[in-house]
Amino acid sequence: MVSTPRPARRILAIAATMAAAAVGTVAALTLAATPSQAATCNGYVGLTFDDGPTPGNTQNLLNALTSNGLRATFFDEGQNAQPNPSLVQATKNAGMWIGNHSWDHPHMTGLTTAQMNTEIGNTQSALQQITGSAPKLFRPPYGETSSALKSVEAQYGLTEIIWDVDSQDWNSASVASIVAANARLTNGQIILMHDWPANTVAAIPQIAAGLASRNLCAGMISPATGRAVAPDGTQPPPSSPAASPSPRQSSPPPTGGGACRVTSAVNAWNNGLTNNLTITNNSTSAVTNWRLTFTLPSGQTITSGWNATYSPSSGAVTATNAGYNSTIAAGGSVGIGYQATHTGNTAAPTGFALNGVACS
């Protein structure tokens, strides 16, 4: 493997690791995290920690997470997992999910397809050997991706996960700043943190308190939707063995000439479904303060959403922009989505209109 230049934060990583090792104690046994009480969860967020496992820090992080009732996804590097199998096993035993973060953290988009295969495939193998199952999630280093990389990911059945919020913990963010970044998370969203900064470990109790105060719980990242969902069976992801996923349904192609186009990607299981919608502005001017109206099929009730607010929860629904995505440029798109319950009808919504103008 050709070694790649290490980013500056690697130096910080070593310093943080040594500091943690000097004061840290390694627990011999970590109990699985207690699932957060479902009754208080009005939504789920995905906490993620990259670049581990890190001797001297991972166990401290796991202790902080489990003692605060949080579960998280760890995107491990193969080169760190292989020599530290006990830390990977401890991560799994603590109730965490484990994803693939490449073998040695290269800029993947600069690699050949063969090199991409080696980075991803060797890491899949190493993690499967340690944990007994191959990861389903892949986070490209630096969040850098390309169509070629996505093709390789697909060969391994991996869902690519970037992030909605960057905690900047890799960039020497303070504890308060890391806590504040977590406070910006909304239902379904994912935050980037790392396995090695001491400040990240120190921030965990306040992150837990902040989420609890907003009735948000730490969830798993659904391989089907790439969004944070409940960690247990109450809202099973479509990939759950107990579920019978229906094929993805898409709206028909545009009939042409419409000022807007909306596509649906419905993924359903026993009693629930998710729908990821893409709204495209086909007009020659930007649409501001957008509202998308549509008819939800009978028997469906929206229980949570992302990148928009939905009201009412059934029937003739209006999805209102989330502020940060209030403008759709000419020719541009925004992605929104929701989770809903259903009574057997898993059809996509119909009758889309953007600010009152019918969409194709």
Q: What is the contact surface with Zn ion in residues (CB under 5 A)?
A: 50-51, 141
Is 292:319 a contact under the CB 8 Å cutoff?
A: yes
Cross-strand bridge partners of residue 260? 281
For the CB of residue 95, give the shortest distance to Zn ion in the complex, in Å.
22
3-state secondary structure of 138: strand
Give all strands (DSSP E) within 117-177, no chain letters: 137-138, 159-160, 165-166
CA dihedral of residues 104, 106, 112, 115 (deg, nearest 10): 0
For the CB of residue 194, give the shortest distance to Zn ion in the complex, in Å.
7
3-state secondary structure of 76: strand
As a 3-state breakdown, the chain gives helix, strand, coil percent values, each rounded to 5, of: 30, 25, 45
Of 77, 339, 100, which Cα lies nearest the Cα of 224? 339
If the CB atoms of residues 64 and 108 are measured against Zn ion, the closer one turns out to be 108
If the CB atoms of residues 13 and 243 are measured against Zn ion, the closer one turns out to be 13
If the CB atoms of residues 51 and 104 are measured against Zn ion, the closer one turns out to be 51
For the CB of residue 195, give the shortest distance to Zn ion in the complex, in Å.
9
Cα–Cα dist 11/333, whole Å: 39
Assign residue 233 a region (left: φ > 0; alpha: ψ between -120 and 50; beta: otherwise). Answer: alpha
For the CB of residue 70, give the shortest distance to Zn ion in the complex, in Å.
20
If the CB atoms of residues 51 and 153 are measured against Zn ion, the closer one turns out to be 51
If the CB atoms of residues 74 and 338 are measured against Zn ion, the closer one turns out to be 74
For the CB of residue 203, give the shortest distance to Zn ion in the complex, in Å.
18
If the CB atoms of residues 50 and 104 are measured against Zn ion, the closer one turns out to be 50
Q: How far is CA 269 from CA 84, 87, 142, 245, 343, in A?
A: 37, 34, 33, 5, 11
For the CB of residue 240, give the shortest distance to Zn ion in the complex, in Å.
29
If the CB atoms of residues 51 and 164 are measured against Zn ion, the closer one turns out to be 51
If the CB atoms of residues 141 and 337 are measured against Zn ion, the closer one turns out to be 141
For the CB of residue 245, give the shortest distance to Zn ion in the complex, in Å.
31
If the CB atoms of residues 196 and 338 are measured against Zn ion, the closer one turns out to be 196
Q: What is the DSSP string of 216-264?
A: EEE-EEPTTTSSEE-SSTTS--TT-TTS-PPPPB-PPPP-SS-SEEEEE
For the CB of residue 50, give the shortest distance to Zn ion in the complex, in Å.
4
Cα–Cα dist 292/179, whole Å: 33
Of 193, 188, 179, 240, which Cα lies nearest the Cα of 219? 188
Cα–Cα dist 93/219, whole Å: 16
Backbone angles phi, psi at 278, to 5 degrees: -115, 125
For the CB of residue 144, give the shortest distance to Zn ion in the complex, in Å.
10
